Amino acid sequence: MLCLAKDIYKIYTMGKVEVEALRGVSLEIEANEYISIMGPSGSGKSTLMHILGCLDTPTRGEYYFEGKKVSDYTDAELARIRNRYIGFVFQNFNLLPRLSALENVALPLIYAGVKKKERLELAEMMLKKVGLAERMRHRPNELSGGECQRVAIARALVNNPKIIFADEPTGNLDTKTGSEIMEIFDRLHSEGRTIVLVTHDSNIAQHAKRVIRLIDGKIVE
């Protein structure tokens, strides 16, 4: 089992107000699953995804990644896990504005200790895979939303991760570009990767083999 969440709470305290973003979420994800997490805005989808991706920690409850409790990993180990096992596609892309598409895609490889030449070769390969080879010298502000999304996907893939988390990967895109992006995810799944898709669009969620619904920080069936 890849991910195991047991009764997870995430509580944000802002002054005197407490916001319970997650209220007792339990979830298992097996290798090679294709899951989508659905729910209205503010239901805690992104929060859950960040915790599942070892980017954030739960306030209460236990989360196991690859069989080990995340709170038992050191910072350096967590960084390694994020680098080698996990690929993120963020809701708002999160590309570095001063780097070209190619350099953005190559970024995770720096922290994997890959040599520069090899880094750029791998990054170029990934950009080809998402159909963006001819725009690889451009910076994010010279690219369209769909193109940025492809760069973000290529970056998530470049380290050959076990699991890919994508937060509203089609949220900012028109239907046509959206379905092109979804084709990429479908292909990645058929190649044997685990995919977790966050969305509030049921058409998108249909691509997944299992759909989890989140309302007010709780899973409903």
Partner 1 sequence: MGEILNLAFQTFRAHKMRSFLTTLGIIIGVTTVIAILSLIEGLNQSVAKQIRSIGSDLIFVTKFSMVRMGPTNFEEIAERPDLTPEDALAIKQLSSVETAIPTIEQNFAKLKYRDKEVAQTSIEGSSEDFSKAYNYIVEIGRDLNFDDILYKRNVGVIGSYVAKNLFGDESPIGKDLNIGAHRIKIIGVYKEKGSFLGQSMDNLIVIPYTFYDKTFPRRRATVFEKAFGGYTISVVPKPKMVERAMDEIRELMRRRRGLRLDEPDNFELGTQQMLFELYQNITRVGFVAIVAIAVISLIVGGIGIMNIMLVSVAERTREIGIRKAVGASNQNILLQFLTESSVLALVGGIIGIILGVLLALLISIVSPLKAAVSLWMIILGFGFSAAVGIFFGMYPARKAASLNPIEALRYE
List residues near partner 1 by CB under 8 A: 50, 55-56, 75-76, 79-80, 82-84, 88, 90, 94-96, 98, 107-108, 110-112, 116, 155, 159
Closer Cβ to Mg ion, 46 or 104, answer by number: 46
DSSP string, 105-140: HHHHHHHTT--HHHHHHHHHHHHHHTT-GGGTTS-G
Task: Tell me the three state secondary structure of residue 1.
Answer: coil
- Interface pick for ligand ATP out of 21, 52, 106, 219 (rule CB under 6 A): 21
The letter for the amino acid at 99 is L
Count of beta carbons in the 10 Å neighbourhood of residue 148: 22
Is 15 a binder of ligand ATP (CB under 6 A)? Answer: no
Closer Cβ to partner 1, 46 or 205, answer by number: 46
Is 215 a binder of ligand ATP (CB under 6 A)? Answer: no
Is 47 a binder of ligand ATP (CB under 6 A)? Answer: yes
CA 10 to CA 8: how far, in whole Å?
7
CA 208 to CA 135: how far, in whole Å?
30
CA proximity to 11, closest of 199, 220, 217? 217
CA proximity to 131, closest of 109, 110, 149? 149
The letter for the amino acid at 159 is N
Is 44 a binder of ligand ATP (CB under 6 A)? Answer: yes
Closer Cβ to ligand ATP, 103 or 167, answer by number: 167
Are 69 and 62 in contact, with CB atoms under 8 Å apart?
yes
**Cβ within 8 Å of residue 70, ≥6 positions away:** 54, 57, 63, 64, 78
Minimum separation from the CB atom of position 80 to ligand ATP (A):
25
Given Mg ion, ligand ATP, partner 1, none, residue 159, with its beta carbon under 5 to 8 Å by kind, binds partner 1
**Cβ within 8 Å of residue 200, ≥6 positions away:** 38, 39, 40, 41, 45, 168
Given ligand ATP, partner 1, Mg ion, none, residue 21, with its beta carbon under 5 to 8 Å by kind, binds ligand ATP
Given ligand ATP, Mg ion, partner 1, none, residue 36, with its beta carbon under 5 to 8 Å by kind, binds none
Task: Tell me the three state secondary structure of residue 85.
Answer: coil
Which of the stretches 13-21, 53-61, 124-132, 186-194 binds ligand ATP when contact is defined by CB under 6 A?
13-21
- Interface pick for ligand ATP out of 1, 18, 19, 175 (rule CB under 6 A): 19
Closer Cβ to partner 1, 119 or 207, answer by number: 119
Interface ranges with ligand ATP (CB under 6 A):
12, 14, 19, 21, 39, 41-47, 91, 200
